[in-house]
Amino acid sequence: MVEVQIYRKVGVVMFDLVIRNARTLTGETMDIGINDGKIQKIATSIPEKGKTEQTLQAGHYLSAGWIDDHVHCFEEMTLYYDYPDQIGVSKGVTTVIDAGTTGAENIHQFYERAKKAKTNVYALLNISKWGIVEQDELADLSKIQANLVKEKLTEFPEFIVGIKARMSKTVVGNNGLTPLEWAKKIQKENHQIPLMVHIGSAPPHLEEILQLLEKGDILTHCFNGKDNGIMEKETHQIKPFVKDALAKGVIFDIGHGTDSFNFEVAKAAYDQGIKADSISTDIYIRNRKNGPVYDLATTMEKLHFIGYSWSEILEKVTCVPAENFHLGTKGQIEVGFDADFTIFEFVDQEKTITDSNGQQQVIDQQIKPVSVVIGGKSYECKL
């Protein structure tokens, strides 16, 4: 349980909040002084001078705030939607990036909603102007209007951190690679803004998609179990063109989702030296409540089962997504960065985890968020 003590002292306040006895994975402890939502001091111990307004006794492990860079959290939608704080602060996640739920015609409504959340909320703008109102949002090319995209990127520069194109048969219809070609053109016309690309069933074929992607582009659903995925089903070998894409700097993101994470594919990739760059959930209300996603912590546990270390898992939900989406003051515990933290513990207890194809595994160690600090304010998690 997080212990919070409030001090009201006469005089100058040195810090708004001091987090004490925060433990790193290497076993070191530190105190962190926070002022105006920013990290102001990091030390082995910050002396108690009677001027600190609030003290939080961590008593557990602490990392930079977890970032889930692929969620769907605009609650006014009907196909894919959720509530930012139910997938964010309640689950140990301090920052979420909505991955293209909305487009140029409804991003302003999402922005107004997002401002009310405790969780930090950012958005990828769907290149289809209404976002994912229907499953086939890119089957009608008239919905892709570059001028509208540019207008909204200019209007919401702090909120929109990238663009999104879903490149699978059910989404693009008979349009093949054309939506992605247009997305790349939009990207180049807007200062090479980050581009996330969803993959699924063919056409278009994964090899064609990867040929169009460049260094810094994000491929999500990287470990799906579909025929159009990264693994040859017969041999369990990763397809050669996938390795070429990684070599040129394409970023691989998990994007677990209802139908996009397969244990066999993830393990085959791991055994062949291929790891995801970032870990995300593709969470929305149905796969949060009914599984197999549930929350970011559970997705992290699945990667630990595959063989990833906890230290690299934490990097893939903190500094890596922050860098990928140019969140310059998030993802690290450094002076001057945002005071966003996740406080968590490890519990040695069995748990059954399930991938998107119904395969189950049993793990014996869980990672459980206890509380978060967002902009210098602390909240308890509700798992």
**Integer Cα distance of 245 and 253 in angstroms:** 13
Average pLDDT over all residues of the chain: 95
Is 60 among the annotated ligand-binding positions? no
To which residue do tokens 């111990």 refer?
A: 45
The phi, psi pair for 292, rounded to 5°, reads -90, 5
Under 8 Å CB-to-CB from 187, ≥6 apart: which residues? Answer: 163, 193, 195
- Identify whether the C-beta of residue 194 lies closer than 8 Å to the C-beta of residue 326: yes
pLDDT at 14: 80
- Confidence grade of residue 51 (pLDDT, cut at 50, 70, 90): low
- CATH 3.20.20.140 at 65-325, yes or no: yes
**Integer Cα distance of 44 and 288 in angstroms:** 38
pLDDT tens, residue by residue, 129-159: 999 999 999 999 999 999 999 999 999 999 9
pLDDT at 54: 87
**Integer Cα distance of 166 and 223 in angstroms:** 16
Amino acid, single-letter form, for residue 172: V
CA-based radius of gyration for the chain: 21
**Integer Cα distance of 251 and 216 in angstroms:** 6
pLDDT at 156: 98
pLDDT tens, residue by residue, 181-239: 999 999 999 999 999 999 999 999 999 999 999 999 999 999 999 999 999 999 999 99
Handedness of CA 236, 239, 243, 249 (dihedral sign): negative
Per-residue pLDDT averaged across 107-128, rounded? 98
Is 221 among the annotated ligand-binding positions? yes
Looking at the predicted structure, is the pLDDT value of residue 8 above 90?
no
Looking at the predicted structure, is the pLDDT value of residue 1 above 50?
no
pLDDT tens, residue by residue, 294-333: 999 999 999 999 999 999 999 999 999 999 999 999 999 9
pLDDT at 194: 98
Which 3 state secondary structure label does DSSP give 369?
strand
Instruction: Domain ranges for the chain, please list them.
Output: 15-63+337-380, 65-325
- Identify whether the C-beta of residue 183 lies closer than 8 Å to the C-beta of residue 127: yes
Per-residue pLDDT averaged across 5-23, rounded? 69
The phi, psi pair for 20, rounded to 5°, reads -110, 145
Per-residue pLDDT averaged across 323-345, rounded? 98
Per-residue pLDDT averaged across 270-294, rounded? 98
Is 198 among the annotated ligand-binding positions? yes
**Integer Cα distance of 122 and 116 in angstroms:** 13
- Confidence grade of residue 383 (pLDDT, cut at 50, 70, 90): confident
**Integer Cα distance of 376 and 312 in angstroms:** 25
pLDDT tens, residue by residue, 347-377: 999 999 999 999 999 999 999 999 999 999 9
- Identify whether the C-beta of residue 165 lies closer than 8 Å to the C-beta of residue 127: yes
- Confidence grade of residue 120 (pLDDT, cut at 50, 70, 90): very high
**Integer Cα distance of 317 and 298 in angstroms:** 13
Per-residue pLDDT averaged across 276-289, rounded? 98
Looking at the predicted structure, is the pLDDT value of residue 4 above 70?
no
pLDDT at 7: 37
CATH topology of domain 15-63+337-380: Urease, subunit C; domain 1 (2.30.40)
pLDDT at 5: 41
Query: In the beta sheet, which residues pair with residue 351?
Result: 363
**Integer Cα distance of 236 and 224 in angstroms:** 13
- Confidence grade of residue 48 (pLDDT, cut at 50, 70, 90): confident
**Integer Cα distance of 291 and 72 in angstroms:** 15
Is 108 among the annotated ligand-binding positions? no
b vs e for 260-269, b when ≥16 Cβ sit within 10 Å of the residue's Cβ?
bbbbebbbbb
pLDDT tens, residue by residue, 157-173: 999 999 999 999 999 99
